[in-house]
Structure 1
Amino acid sequence: MQTRFKGRVWTFGDDISTDHIIAGKYLGTTDSKVFAEHAFEGVDPTWAKKVQPGDLIVAGDNFGCGSSREQAPVALKTLGIFAILAK
């Protein structure tokens, strides 16, 4: 069985924390669209506008480290990130 995926690959290094994915200043809302609009804002303010459904993230060690906040994966899911491959 062969499976093919199509999407851009976004690469990140080690120790990408939940604070990198969605800054704490947005935690006062429950709107997943707000989380998506501001994903990785501190790393690249234009990232959320460039990512497309079906894209993938490849990262090093400790992706998603730091405070446990569900808003980080919600932001990535809302953007349509298909998969995250990390060490």
Structure 2
Amino acid sequence: MNLQGCVWKYGDNVDTDAIIPARYLNVSTPAELARHCMEDIDPSFTAKLEQGDVIVAGENFGCGSSREHAPLAIKQSGISCVLA
């Protein structure tokens, strides 16, 4: 597998509330979730993101409350993979 894109680097303990804030849990379309991905960490994340980019994070990425919205938002945003 060959991946190409920018790397978005994050530290440890990025929880699901940081990936997709709880105020968007009533959103049901993947495209709308993607527009709000990581916005509390970096409000311009989705504007700067390009298809195929990669997230590299420390330990415990995706911790916190269990919700399917977080991986769905990441996938729909165009991130090709997460290394944590």
Measured against the shorter chain, the TM-score band is: over 0.9
**Equivalent residue letter for 2:13:** D
Q: TM-score, normalising length from structure 1?
A: 0.92
* Two-structure CA RMSD over aligned residues (Å): 0.9
Give matches, 1:18-57, under 5 Å: 18-57=16-55
Q: 1:62 offset after TM fit, Å?
A: 0.3
In structure 1, stretches of 5+ residues that fail to align are none
**Equivalent residue letter for 1:79:** S
Q: Which runs of 4+ in 1 moved over 2 A?
A: none
Residues in 2 aligned to 1:39 and 1:12: alpha-carbon distance in whole angstroms: 14
Which of 69, 80, 83 is the matching residue for 2:81?
Answer: 83
Q: TM-score, normalising length from structure 2?
A: 0.95
Which of 59, 62, 68 is the matching residue for 2:60?
Answer: 62
In structure 2, stretches of 5+ residues that fail to align are none
**Fraction of identical pairs, as percent:** 48
